[in-house]
């Protein structure tokens, strides 16, 4: 992967803070190859098991590589980030972490799936269930203007842990610049994920990612925007979808219902365990808002691509 610059696992953990010193300075138009750790910060390996999940240290999760100082970037500008390329993949993991995830109250036992990603194009969940590999960065953003530490786990106006699975090769992400130099960082790379990442993890995988930068001077946006290079779900649409719906007077409750019904479907129709069904929903099922205007109820749909069943 050829780039103007390379950063090898120079990470900061848990927080955004504009006082963190940049590790590299780049000019607009230059490219950078970032070496990104997995979301566990190296705490899981190919040999890890479910027994290792409860001991995870959350102070080490979601490390991001950076910050990068973009020359000429000033508050009020917009930083354009082009996702150019991803490096070789080897392995990844998906976990159910007690106390974390959309249905945390219902899934209290740890679970860990180690994925073999050597194929590069597909990844086997279980025999007969195979997902297309579509890498993207889960966490990507710039420093915030407010002083002090700001947790890196939730998404914010600077980007952050957005988990937008359509930020794949060729996508352009637009970020508001809040501080001089922007102070850009990236991490939490995923090999695949469903919209919603409902159990709290995707296929978390270490990898290299090549990005290039462009500045739009004096063009201010309030939150991130992005463009995709083409259709959103190539490789998944061909065989259609099985869809469950959930309604409630709260979008979160409606989402939980839709996922519960999907888990029930996967258990009964595909013979997998409840934990496996929850994890598969996180890496393959897309949550969509189907109805938001007809109060007092909202409707969420959960889309399962039939293509993954080989």
For residue 130, give the CATH number of its domain.
2.60.120.580
Position 232 in a domain: no
Q: Are both 185 and 65 inside the same structural domain? A: yes
Q: Are both 91 and 145 inside the same structural domain? A: yes
- Give the end of a domain, one of 199, 227, 255: 227
Q: Are both 171 and 195 inside the same structural domain? A: yes
Range of the domain at 269: 237-308
pLDDT given for residue 120 in this prediction:
84
User: How far apart are the C-alpha atoms of 2 and 50, rounded to whole Å?
Assistant: 37
Q: Are both 222 and 241 inside the same structural domain? A: no
Q: Are 236 and 122 in contact (CB under 8 A)?
A: no
The secondary structure of residue 104, as a DSSP letter, is: T
Q: Are both 216 and 297 inside the same structural domain? A: no
Q: Are both 54 and 156 inside the same structural domain? A: yes
Q: Are both 216 and 294 inside the same structural domain? A: no
What Å distances lie between residue 32 and 8, 68, 76, CA to CA? 11, 9, 23
pLDDT given for residue 232 in this prediction:
85
Position 33 in a domain: yes
pLDDT given for residue 9 in this prediction:
75
Q: How many CB atoms lie within 10 A of CB 264?
A: 13
In order along its 310 residues, the chain shows pLDDT tens digits of: 789 999 987 888 878 999 999 999 999 999 999 999 999 999 999 999 999 999 999 999 999 999 999 999 999 999 999 999 999 899 999 999 999 999 999 999 999 999 999 988 999 999 999 999 999 999 999 999 999 999 999 999 999 999 999 999 999 999 999 999 999 999 999 999 999 999 999 999 999 999 999 999 999 999 999 999 988 877 788 899 999 999 999 999 999 999 999 999 999 999 999 999 999 999 999 999 999 999 999 999 999 999 999 8
Q: Are both 296 and 247 inside the same structural domain? A: yes
pLDDT given for residue 10 in this prediction:
82
Q: Looking at the 3D structure of the chain, how many domains does it have?
A: 2
- Give the end of a domain, one of 227, 247, 266: 227
pLDDT given for residue 152 in this prediction:
92
Q: Are both 166 and 304 inside the same structural domain? A: no
Predicted structure pTM score: 0.96
User: How far apart are the C-alpha atoms of 36 and 186, rounded to whole Å?
Assistant: 8
């Amino acid at each position: 992967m050829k780039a103007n610059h390379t950063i090898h696992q120079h990470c900061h953990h848990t927080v955004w803070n504009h006082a963190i010193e940049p590790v590299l300075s780049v000019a607009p138009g230059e490219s950078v190859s970032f070496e990104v750790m997995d979301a566990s910060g190296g705490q899981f390996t190919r040999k890890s098991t479910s027994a290792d999940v409860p001991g995870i240290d959350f102070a080490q999760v979601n490390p991001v590589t950076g910050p990068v100082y973009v020359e000429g970037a000033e508050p009020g500008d917009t930083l354009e980030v082009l996702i150019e390329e991803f490096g070789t993949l080897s392995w990844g993991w998906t976990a159910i972490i007690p106390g974390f995830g959309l249905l945390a109250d219902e899934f209290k036992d740890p679970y860990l799936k180690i994925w073999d990603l050597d194929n590069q194009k597909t990844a086997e969940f279980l025999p007969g269930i195979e997902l297309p590999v579509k890498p993207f960065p889960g966490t990507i953003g710039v420093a915030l203007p407010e002083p002090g530490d700001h947790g890196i786990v939730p998404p914010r106006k600077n980007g952050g842990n957005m988990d937008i699975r359509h930020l794949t090769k060729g996508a352009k992400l637009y970020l508001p610049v809040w501080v001089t130099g922007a102070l850009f960082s990236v991490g939490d790379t995923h090999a695949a994920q469903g919209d919603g990442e409902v159990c709290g993890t995707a296929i978390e995988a270490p990898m290299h990612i090549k990005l290039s930068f462009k500045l739009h001077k004096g063009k201010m946006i309030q939150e991130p925007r992005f463009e995709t290079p083409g259709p959103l779900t190539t490789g998944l649409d061909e065989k259609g979808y099985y869809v469950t719906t959930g309604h409630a007077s709260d979008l979160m409750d409606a989402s939980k219902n839709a996922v519960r019904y999907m888990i029930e479907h996967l258990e009964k129709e595909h013979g997998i365990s409840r934990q496996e069904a929850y994890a598969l929903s996180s890496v393959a099922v897309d949550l969509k808002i189907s109805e938001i205007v007809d109060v007092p109820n909202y409707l969420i749909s959960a889309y399962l691509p039939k293509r993954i069943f080989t």
